[in-house]
Amino acid sequence: MKFHVNRDVFSEAVSFVVKLLPQRNPQPILAGVLIEADEAGLSLAAFDYEASARTTIEATVDEPGTILVHGRLLSEIASRLPNAPIQIEVGADEGIVLSCGSARFTLASMPVQEYPAIPEVGGESGLVPAEEFATAISQVAFAASRDDVTPVLTGVQLEVAGTELSLVATDRYRVALRDVAWDGGTIAGDQSTSALIPARTLIEVGKTFTHSGTIQIAFSGSGDREIIAFTAGNKTVTSLLIKGNFPPVRRLFPDQTDHYAVVGTADLAEAVRRVSLVLDRAAPLRFTFTEEGVSMDAAGNEQARATESVDATLVGEEVTLGLNPQYLLEALGAVKSEFTRITFTSSDNANKLSPVLITPQTSGTPESFKYLLQPNLLLR
């Protein structure tokens, strides 16, 4: 194998395919990047049995062939090379020789024959607007659990029905939901599809494809090897789906919203950050909603105390409750609106605290983002 390629194009391609690889992999072979060179150019791919990334770029190929090289090391080298074309070839001792300007690196070749086959993309597909989809991921994925004890809660549930695609995530204490437009193409309009995707993989998809125009999403595979594929331009990411039943959290969202407060998003977020400085870790922050506004009260173990008030409009009775300040801040960051509506839901169980519903406060348009947060017990 021997080829010449633009430094910036090659560096960006290698960086893309190694992003999804875990920092430490029990199988060294999976730390590699597979590079195939032929008359069409270069194909670069990485795969760890759960997620894969593949891209194609232009290159001048003198001798076609396939090599496997340590991905993160190659990415580090490529990002620091001088501004000159890169030449890569297989040396006489089967080592991989990379030259760029006066820089020269010799890297160990990994056995291509031991590398697993990259998943092929097929099945039914549709299109979503890339920027809107990336925003939706950022509004939902943070609510997924980080505890691997319950794998289904570490994922984001993607649901397709008609012309709408929904993203849902929960960690038992909160639920985030966002809808985006879906163009199913030839897929029947009344057909529904769902896929449970690892949140970590989906976050990388959002970061990578934000400015890609549209993203094609395809569902394929069966049984224990069901996968979902995201493609935009010359890049494709696939992910193995999480097996299991995602909890039916949609039913938790209330229909009636006649008891709520409207508050400036930035004002509330800044006040919460200040007041919660004195709180012990994981302690709830006390909120009191009245006609005059919303007041916050925090007390820590070091005899520190903080209070602050923010203007708010309240519809309905006064309310005092405790909320996890970090969970609330993440919701306010996801609202993407100047004003936030905090709705106080009711429960049939008098001994159980009812969750609060957090949505953007906009006029006349249905809310595409909803966030449900469970209050904490306040010690009187």
Closest among 42, 47, 55, 44 to 20, alpha carbons compared: 47
Q: Are 104 and 97 in contact (CB under 8 A)?
A: yes
What's the DSSP call for residue 293? E
In order of 16, 219, 226, 234, the CA distances from 123 in angstroms are 24, 5, 11, 19
Task: Note whether 377 and 321 are within 8 A (CB).
Answer: no
The SS3 assignment for 220 reads: strand
Nearest-Å Rg of the Cα atoms of the chain is 25
Closest CA to 262 of 197, 201, 314: 314
Please choose, from the candidates 344, 338, 342, 343, the residue with its C-alpha nearest in 3D space to the C-alpha of residue 363.
338
β-sheet bridge partners, residue 369: 178
CA nearest neighbour of 45 among 65, 86, 73, 16: 16
Residue 143: closest CA among 380, 310, 358, 345: 358
Residue 232: beta bridge partners? Answer: 235
Residues ≥6 apart with Cβ < 8 Å to 153? 144, 145, 147, 170, 171, 172, 247
Of the candidates 261, 378, 279, 263, the residue with the CA atom closest to the CA atom of residue 326: 279
- How buried is 335 (Cβ within 10 angstroms: 0-12 exposed, 13-18 middle, 19+ buried)? buried
> Please, what is the Cα angle at 346 between 343 and 349, to 5 degrees?
150
- Work out whether strand 174-181 and strand 369-373 pair parallel, antiparallel, or are unpaired: antiparallel
pLDDT in tens, the chain (380 residues): 999 999 999 999 999 999 988 777 778 999 999 999 999 999 999 999 999 999 999 999 999 999 999 999 999 999 999 999 999 999 878 889 999 999 999 999 999 999 999 988 877 789 999 999 999 999 999 999 998 889 999 999 999 988 999 999 999 999 999 999 999 875 555 568 899 999 999 999 999 999 889 999 999 877 678 999 999 999 999 999 999 999 999 998 887 678 999 999 999 999 999 999 999 877 899 999 999 999 999 988 778 899 999 999 999 999 999 999 999 999 999 999 999 999 998 766 555 678 999 999 987 666 789 999 999 866 54
